[in-house]
Amino acid sequence: MLETEPDLSVFSKIDFTNGAVAAVSGGSDSTALLLLLKDHLDRSAPATKLLAVTIDHNLRPGSAAEARAVARLCAARGIAHRIMVWSGRKPSTGLPAAARKARYRLLAEAAQAEGIGLILTGHTADDQAETVLMRHARQEGPREAGRGLAGMAPATLYDWRIWIARPLLGTRRAALREVLRRANVGWAEDPTNDDEAFERSRIRAALADGNGAQEDAMALAARAAVEREQLGHRAAALIRGFASRPADGLIRLDPGFATAGDDLAAVYALRILLATVGGVAFLPDQARSEALFARLRPRPSCVMPFYANPFCATLSRTVVDARRAGIFLRRETRNLPPAAPAVDNALWDGRRRITLGDEPGAFLIAPLGAARAAKREIAEDGAPPSLVRAALAAEPALWRSSGPLGESLSPVQDSPALPRMAACPVVAPFARFLPSFDLAPAGTVAALIGAPLLPAAPFSGHTAG
């Protein structure tokens, strides 16, 4: 149900123990969010650290003045405020997406600098309806991780470390503007909101006709959100039941994975695993994934699986090697990163987060390589040694940077030479943005590959999904 008055109880469901960053552009939605949030905290937790952050995208002549107006509002109400500017060259195409990426990066930097793990944004029911209709026009479905007809999630984990919560998704923009009028507080109007060169502006204009499209879109989003979360739980159950990790960089699926009886969830689980093993930020194409899954299923007339005779396929940089011992997934050895200096917090090949406790000295990070992997002793754990070595060849290792790359140290993740260095696995398709709809499969895959655990969701009592 869409609220005609803001539902302030939504704030009581959020854990503000470690403070909050409010993203405030100066528009009506975010300004109302700030006032409502400040009122809630003053009444319930006055000691909570609250920081308002305004991102000046530096795209319009008036943006700096709008940021300063937010600063004055915050000063008048005793709210800490910070302006962060998106500097540098702007892309000639894909500007809205680039601006969004920069906005969240800067918000996360501001939050991290204050030791805060929670960002609140003022997205409304109007924004949700626009998002759903835009995606509906592209024929996206609820299975598209991170997107789809489920719309924006109530919360999203950014960079696997900071939560972005959207407490006003059930509130109309008109209700928020009425809050501001009663408080005698103005707001800025972004002229790009009316520029029909942008897709969202065209959708917004269509929704303004008041023909019930907004209610229909929100109902569609609600149904799709439930379906997507349920699909994620079913995919997570399949991964827990059928997947194992025989070695670093190698995932084994029991042959029963292809005949478990829930093809929709199995294909979704397979897509997540393919993207994770390949280090790809987006799930592989649905149709290609379904075709691959069909190859993994036994023919109706066959007693043995179709892959009793081994076959290999490649999708999303992942080699799928199906044989009697199981279905094995590993990173293909083409297009691996070249040798490069070890850099703290770098994402290597989309698969490993590099962490340096000290200066690494004269070392490079590069794939271990087939020659070095061939010399490794392989434990007898049921996985074919050739596949284990092929997987290890694509894993990161430290190399001495002085002289030729002929002197290899042990893999970064367990290097005795640099015990404070680590290369932690990441769940690639959810490493940057993890919607709360997808917590179940993301957490299950993280446990499978040894990635860091998910930080606790900011909502009390449930997962925000």
Q: What is residue 228's predicted lDDT score, i.e. its pLDDT?
A: 92
Residue 448, in any domain of the structure: no
Residue 87, in any domain of the structure: yes
Q: 376-431, pLDDT tens digit by residue?
A: 877 767 789 999 999 999 999 877 665 444 455 555 554 445 545 678 999 999 99
Q: 44-67, pLDDT tens digit by residue?
A: 999 999 999 999 998 888 899 999
| Burial class of residue 420 (count of CB atoms within 10 Å of its CB; 0-12, 13-18, 19+) | exposed
Could you give the CA distance from residue 213 to residue 207 in angstroms, rounded to a whole number?
6
Phi, psi for residue 273 in degrees, rounded to 5: -65, -40
Residue 42, in any domain of the structure: yes
Could you give the CA distance from residue 141 to residue 144 in angstroms, rounded to a whole number?
6
Q: 336-382, pLDDT tens digit by residue?
A: 999 888 888 889 999 999 887 665 556 788 899 998 888 887 776 77
State the Cα angle at 398 between 409 and 443, rounded to 5°. Answer: 115
Could you give the CA distance from residue 417 to residue 356 in angstroms, rounded to a whole number?
12
What is residue 77's three-state secondary structure?
A: coil
Residue 348, in any domain of the structure: no
- Residue 397 forms beta bridges with which residues? 366, 411
Residue 294, in any domain of the structure: no
Residue 379, in any domain of the structure: no
Residue 435's nearest CA partner among 235, 224, 157, 221 is 157
Residue 43, in any domain of the structure: yes
Rounding to the nearest 10 degrees, give the CA dihedral for residues 336, 339, 343, 344: 50
- Count: domains in the chain: 1
Residue 200, in any domain of the structure: yes
DSSP output for 405-424: TT-EEEEGGG-SSSTTEEEE
Name the strand (E) or helix (H) holding 155. strand 155-158
CATH code for position 153: 3.40.50.620
Give the CB-side neighbour count of residue 180, counting CA atoms within 13 A.
19
Could you give the CA distance from residue 56 to residue 64 in angstroms, rounded to a whole number?
6
Q: For residue 220, what are the domain limits?
A: 9-226
What's this model's pTM, rounded to 2 decimal places?
0.88
